[in-house]
A and B are shown apart, each in its own frame.
Chain A
Amino acid sequence: MSWRVLLLALLVLAGPAWAELPAECGVAAHLVENSYPLPKVKRAIAAKKLNILVVGAGSSQLPGANGEKNAYPARLQQALVDQLKGVEVKVTTDIKATRTAAEMVKALPPNLAAAKPSLMIWQTGTTDAMRAVDPDQFSQALDQGINIARGASADVVLVNAQYSPRTESMIALSTYSEDMRWVALQQEVPLFDRFSIMRLWSDLGTFDLYSATKKLDIAERVHDCIGRLLADLVIAAAKPPEPPTNGSR
């Protein structure tokens, strides 16, 4: 934990780099690593038309009347519209609660055909862990989904489970998180490490994720930050590749 605090101190010194991000989101910006290029996204931004499909389960939505507007897919769209002037950005979603990776894969072909995205953001893992799906089958479903998306000429970004401290002793996430990390590495697909990001927010006290509140305010701010950080990942992918310094690859 102390090394995280140290990292934070370093980050505060390097602050201006994320001037456009609210400070509470920015403390986790270093965890968003653009480890692999997103060529289709880059081309789409150059062509001024970016379609994104977000595929996910219950942790990609928020309850309530304004739930859809405040959940991270809509916040991602807003952040991209704000930052990519002149680019027509459209985020469509295929989000239904309690779906495993394999169940989402089944719905992929029609949704990809309808949305024609340059990027598929795929949030998964939680339901598989809760149902204790065979880890091999989970990895196979991930591979399959990534291949289907690529076949439909979309780049892929994986999003892992939320950090949920109250239910941590009940959901064995670790195997599934490791599988996702490994599939991402093998397939050369960026992994948006939502778990570590939220864990850092919790450790630093940015957001109180232990809170038993029924109110939506923290949940909305968390989703807003996730949307903004995802937008950063997308925009970074489209930047010209000139400055090779400091890159992870």
Chain B
Amino acid sequence: MAPVSMERDLRLDLFRGIALWLIFLDHIPSNAVSWITIRNYGFSDATEIFVFISGYTAAFVYGRAMRQHGFVVASARVLKRAWQVYIAHVFLLAIYLAEIAYVASSFDNPLYTEEMGVLDFLKNPDVTIFQALLLKFKPVNMDVLPLYILLLAWFPPMLWLLLRAPSTALISSAVLYVLMWFFEWNLPAWPSGTWVFNPFAWQLLFVFGAWCALGGAQNLSRWINSRFVLGLAIAYLVFAFCIAMTWYFPRLAVYVPKFVGEAIYPIDKTNLDVLRILHFLSLAVITVALVPSDWPALKSRIFWPAIVCGQHSLETFCLGVFLSFAGHFMFTEVSNRLFMHVAVSVAGIAIMVAIAAMLSWYKQAERQGGGPRPPAARPGLAGGDA
């Protein structure tokens, strides 16, 4: 097992913070500003970044706990975290139900009688709310936290294996991914269908992140830093970009050879298509090449807003989901002009930064004023969350 660096890599917080902003922008329906987000220029989107970095930081934080305090204590902490995420999910659900109920009572356009049928579940809230608590009913854009809950709940044994036999752990995760494709495993959803983010698929990225955190990244560094791999990554990003352009300019689609189209479509987000993984890895390789971990700018004020959001990822994520509801509400109730789209997007990110900064301050104040607490009780490092 390679030695693990003890200092938190600020790049993780930076890119997780940026991913959280992008997820927020993408979650506001019809948001004109979301054309800047990466999902429009290639196969993968901010979800991959978020899941990978979450795996990385989970291994970083709880891996240390497991080495120092053993399996039981570390597992208890991971499960406590999963419980916190569950509570956050239920909280967001309450806000969502309030929004839906408002729309149901105020909107009755005859053009949309069919679409209003989506509100029918309000007629039997007993079933709906129960299914939501079981994580089977997940409203639009509320699929990430249930995935995160499952990944955390299943993380203790995986972490145990990762600490003892990292390669075996990574291979078993990959085998699970392959078996998922082979047998079409997924969890059932309500009222029909399956999970939008298939946990059997997305666990691969989470475990890969964890594996990198526990020394895998160092083992890979010879590959990551090679010019050949960098060239491949750039070529792949260019390819993905060209394909993405045909989505917006259908006339270009005729230039995509038929066999290429048949090979790549459909690009499956639910089951984390291999094309998406490759796209994420290419982005990661290029990022590592461009942004060294000791880059002084990482400590400058320019990147602080994104870093502070990345350090409080759960709170910022939940806030982002709430703000995207609120932003959509502004579009429907106040104005739908371009100015409003920009104003809502900028204001939303500013609120995310402000709340994250407040949480940082609060955590510090609590630590200083709360009397001597045993350091072991702190789950995070340097104010960071898993």
Interface residues of A (CB under 8 A from B): 1-2, 33, 35, 57-59, 62-64, 97-98, 126-127, 130-135, 139, 162, 164-172, 175, 178-179, 182, 185-186, 199, 202, 209-216, 218-219, 222, 248-249
CB contact list, B255-310 vs A, under 8 A:
261-262, 265-266, 269-270
Determine if B328 is an interface residue (Cβ-Cβ < 8 Å): yes
Closest to B341 in A: A1
Contact A168 B328 (CB under 8 A): yes
Residues of A within 8 A of B140 (CB): 169-172
Residues of A within 8 A of B196 (CB): 172
Closest to B99 in A: A169
Closest to A60 in B: B114
| C-alpha gap A213/B114 in the complex (Å) | 16
| C-alpha gap A169/B96 in the complex (Å) | 10
| C-alpha gap A248/B253 in the complex (Å) | 10
Contact B111 A170 (CB under 8 A): no
| C-alpha gap A11/B106 in the complex (Å) | 36
Closest to A209 in B: B111
| C-alpha gap A141/B270 in the complex (Å) | 20
| C-alpha gap A2/B254 in the complex (Å) | 26
Q: Is the interface of B mostly helix, strand, loop or mixed?
A: helix
Tell whether A170 pairs with B109 under 8 Å between CB atoms, given A133-B193, A185-B261, A210-B336: no
Determine if B124 is an interface residue (Cβ-Cβ < 8 Å): no
| C-alpha gap A213/B110 in the complex (Å) | 8
Contact A165 B336 (CB under 8 A): yes
Q: Is the interface of A mostly helix, strand, loop or mixed?
A: loop
Closest to A98 in B: B117
Interface residues of B (CB under 8 A from A): 29-30, 32, 99-100, 103, 106-119, 139-141, 189, 191-194, 196, 250-251, 253-254, 261-262, 265-266, 269-270, 324-325, 328, 331-332, 336, 338, 341
Q: Name the one of A35, A98, A166 contacting B109, with C-beta atoms under 8 angstroms.
A: A166
Contact A199 B30 (CB under 8 A): yes
8 nearest CB pairs, A to B: A58-B114, A168-B29, A219-B111, A132-B193, A1-B32, A164-B115, A59-B114, A167-B115
Since A63-B110, A210-B332 are in contact, a sample of 11 more A-B pairs with Cβ atoms closer than 8 Å, ordered by chain A residue number, is A58-B114, A164-B111, A164-B112, A166-B332, A179-B266, A185-B253, A186-B261, A199-B30, A215-B110, A218-B109, A218-B111
Residues of A within 8 A of B100 (CB): 170
| C-alpha gap A68/B116 in the complex (Å) | 20
Number of residue pairs across A and B with beta carbons under 8 Å? 129
Residues of B within 8 A of A130 (CB): 115, 117-118
Residues of A within 8 A of B324 (CB): 169
Residues of A within 8 A of B107 (CB): 166, 212
Tell whether A57 pairs with B114 under 8 Å between CB atoms, given A165-B30, A165-B331, A169-B325: yes
Residues of B within 8 A of A169 (CB): 29, 99, 140-141, 324-325, 328
Contact A165 B254 (CB under 8 A): no
Contact A248 B113 (CB under 8 A): no
Contact B29 A165 (CB under 8 A): yes
Question: Can you list 22 contacts pairing A with B, beta carbon distance less than 8 Å?
Answer: A57-B114, A58-B113, A58-B117, A62-B110, A62-B111, A63-B110, A98-B117, A126-B114, A127-B117, A130-B117, A135-B266, A164-B115, A165-B29, A168-B30, A169-B140, A169-B324, A170-B103, A175-B270, A182-B265, A182-B266, A214-B109, A222-B111
Contact A219 B332 (CB under 8 A): no
Residues of A within 8 A of B331 (CB): 165, 210
Residues of A within 8 A of B269 (CB): 175
Closest to A56 in B: B114
Residues of A within 8 A of B193 (CB): 131-134
| C-alpha gap A219/B112 in the complex (Å) | 9
| C-alpha gap A215/B111 in the complex (Å) | 9
| C-alpha gap A222/B29 in the complex (Å) | 21
Residues of A within 8 A of B251 (CB): 33, 248
Smallest distance from the beta carbon of B313 to chain A beta carbons, Å?
22
Contact B192 A63 (CB under 8 A): no
| C-alpha gap A155/B250 in the complex (Å) | 21
Residues of B within 8 A of A213 (CB): 109
Contact B250 A35 (CB under 8 A): yes
| C-alpha gap A2/B35 in the complex (Å) | 11
Residues of A within 8 A of B110 (CB): 62-64, 214-216, 219
